[in-house]
Structure 1
Amino acid sequence: MKHSINHPMRHGRRPAGRPARHSRGPALRIGRSLALVLPVVLVLSGTLAVSRVNWSGDSADPALAASAENVSSRTAARAPHEALRDELLIELQEKDPGAALTHLQEAVNDRPSLAKHCASLARSLGRAAVRVYGPTRAQSYARPVCDTSFASGVAQFG
């Protein structure tokens, strides 16, 4: 008995439902083009970006040098509210939150420019008080300093 195998593509016909190999559309061509071109573009753009950076450390632009000096002087001298926050947190640990809140109120009364930072300072004290004393005992020190922000810090962290 002789079996005949039907090869549809030999006779110029393809099976129903199968697209021809050569008609995959423009998406394949675009994808292949991008696969070849994109890495080249990325390498060239990265090379150009790196070549434009002044790696020597000497700034030829006086405006850039002046701004760099301003940044370094600002980071060296801390802001007054940050220094006050550190003092208050130390006082909270050494004494109690009541003493730190009193010191905060006095500092804000002496330097009105600290008033805009008062609420965040009091919240920081509240969170620190919860860590040191627990939520119940920390809440007992709450008083209306900076619109009850201390109590808000206790409630957030506790």
Structure 2
Amino acid sequence: MKHSTTPQTRSGRGPARRVGRTLAFVLPVVLVFSGTLAVAHVNWSGSPSSPVLAAADTAVSGASSAGASSRGAARAPHEVLRDTLLVELRRENPGVVLTHLQQAVNDRPSLARHCTSIARALGREAVRMYGSTKAQSFARPVCDTSFASGVLAAHG
């Protein structure tokens, strides 16, 4: 008595086996390739890739080389970054500046805790320059939408 209408093969060369063999070959190749790309994308030189970070690093290194007597006058990297981005906002549109803020935080994770205050300051300045409607059009999810909350705070 036969229960199945499809012919059974003992050799095991069905489509499932072909798919399994293809995945077994392709998957490691894809993983190695993606890992190579990820390693190639990392900035191994130690110097910042963002011009905004370069300005912040120059200001910090200049302040630290001034000596211990003027340490009170030294500015924190996040303050330098905020001021640099505010100056840049006067030349570029807020979308470009927000991209530079995100790059700075990605390149230097210690700036992440100051990201929201910097983005809010950028939002307030954008409202002053462009008006609330135009400024809101540049909002993106940088630093948990702090730019948008800065726009809202300046508008309200």
Match of 2:118 in 1: 121
TM-score (norm 2): 0.55
Match of 2:132 in 1: 135
Q: CA deviation at 1:77?
A: 1.7
Gaps of 5+ in 1: 1-68
Does 2:94 match 1:97?
yes
| d(CA) in 2 for partners of 1:125, 1:108 | 15
TM-score (norm 1): 0.54
Bigger relative contact order, structure 1 or 2, given CA contacts below 8 A and separation 6+? 2
| d(CA) in 1 for partners of 2:136, 2:150 | 10
| d(CA) in 1 for partners of 2:108, 2:75 | 16
- CA deviations 1:65-115 (Å, max 9, x no partner) are xxxx96x53332210000000110011110111111000000000000000
Gaps of 5+ in 2: 1-66
Moved over 4 A (4+): none
Task: Give the secondary structure class of the aligned counterpart of 2:97.
Answer: helix
Instruction: Decide which of 84, 88, 98 is 1:87's aligned counterpart.
Output: 84
Counterpart amino acid of 1:101? L
Task: Give the secondary structure class of the aligned counterpart of 1:143.
Answer: coil
**Percent identity of the aligned residues?**
71
Structure exhibiting the larger radius of gyration computed from Cα positions: 1
Match of 2:34 in 1: none
Match of 1:78 in 2: 75
| d(CA) in 2 for partners of 1:83, 1:75 | 15
Task: Give the secondary structure class of the aligned counterpart of 2:141.
Answer: coil
Q: How many residues align?
A: 89
Pairwise CA RMSD of aligned residues?
Answer: 1.4
